[in-house]
Amino acid sequence: MIEVRELTKSYGPTLAVDQVSFDANAGEVVGFIGPNGAGKTTTMRILTCYLTADAGNATVAGYDVLEHAIDVRKNVGYLPESAPLYADMGVVEYLKFMAEVRDLPKSQRKERINTVIDICGLEGVIQKDIGELSKGYRQRVGLAQSLIHDPPILILDEPTSGLDPTQTIEIRNLIIEMGKEKLVLFSTHILPEVAATCSRILMINQGEIVANGTLEELIDQVRSEERIHLVIRGPEEDITPELKALDAITGVSQSIMDNGVVTYEITTSQDGYEATSAIFRAAQQNSWDLVELRQETIDLENIFLHYSTGENRSPSNNTEPSTDVSPAEEE
């Protein structure tokens, strides 16, 4: 449904998109993530024919974005980060206008308007002008206009921006449902949203695609060693050498020692279960008290840090992980 080959775009001396290539297919929900200024919005604007690329090419629903822009737009529902709404129009009036702009047959307009009102939860505000709505409801109206012509492809830039937690969950579930039949490409800064919603992740940094795959595939790419978090009570001068002597252990880092309780961050090149078993047996044999022993997991935040900063941070060093990795993107 989308084919991108060596797409390049500059703003003066700033290279915003640098030879980006990827494919996306029907039935996929693709999360497009990256730091501020990474090139997400620029790429989306090229795919929706709002910008032209300096080099490379892209096809959307089989149509070249440069040569067949009108056909591309017929097959795409686009929600920009700031939804382009007319504040002095009523909700239904605006959707009627969008149905007309999209050249829907008159016999289908009423049904489609009612459908998107129901899908986007707008029943309670259909008597209001858009200017009277909260940011969350304006975002819903923007999503409704992207769906009005029932396109096979949805390109959504920050679709849950400004929504409360309940609304966010509703839109997230809607995206999952739409992704069963359509291609949904959406950007977000909320990493748990990507993990919960997407069948595949595209990560862009400094204009280049740096990661492309399912969450499980990206975790496998990032994982170079297993990590274990250990909190144990006993004589540190005996525990540390014993841990370092275990065959399963490749690294031992003591982080905290307080009142006889020692916290370690341990790395192993073997299976994490083998290493934790070896540690447990050593504690039993030496009569040490195990306070905590767990195998650390790699999550999307670790992956994001790895590809955007080169850092592979253990979750144990991040006591309050952020779910919003950066403010709204400006490109």
Does residue 228 carry a pLDDT above 50?
Answer: yes
Question: pLDDT value at position 270?
Answer: 63
CATH match of 2-75+151-221 with 2.60.120.10: no
Question: pLDDT value at position 325?
Answer: 39
Q: What is the mean pLDDT of residues 28-49?
A: 93
Nearest to 275 by CA among 238, 305, 250, 302: 250
The pLDDT tens digits of the residues spanning 196-221 come to 899 999 999 999 999 999 988 888 77
The pLDDT tens digits of the residues spanning 252-285 come to 887 777 777 889 888 887 666 788 888 999 999 9
Edge to edge, the sheet with strand 76-79 lists: 76-79, 153-157, 183-187, 29-33, 200-205, 208-213
Question: pLDDT value at position 324?
Answer: 39
Tokens of 301: 């935040």
- Choose between 107 and 228: higher pLDDT: 107
Task: Report the distance separating Cα 140 and Cα 258, nearest Å.
Answer: 52
Question: pLDDT value at position 295?
Answer: 81
For the chain, the residue count is 331
Question: pLDDT value at position 318?
Answer: 38
Tokens of 123: 């029943």
Q: Which fold has domain 225-295?
A: Alpha-Beta Plaits (3.30.70)
The pLDDT tens digits of the residues spanning 145-203 come to 999 999 999 999 988 877 788 878 888 888 898 898 899 999 988 888 888 899 999 99
Query: Mean of the per-residue pLDDT values for the chain?
Result: 86
Task: Report the distance separating Cα 72 and Cα 60, nearest Å.
Answer: 6
Q: Please indicate, yes or no, whether the overall pTM of this predicted structure exceeds 0.85.
A: no
The pLDDT tens digits of the residues spanning 276-320 come to 888 999 999 999 999 999 887 777 777 888 777 755 444 433 333
Domain range list for the chain: 2-75+151-221, 225-295
- Choose between 159 and 59: higher pLDDT: 59
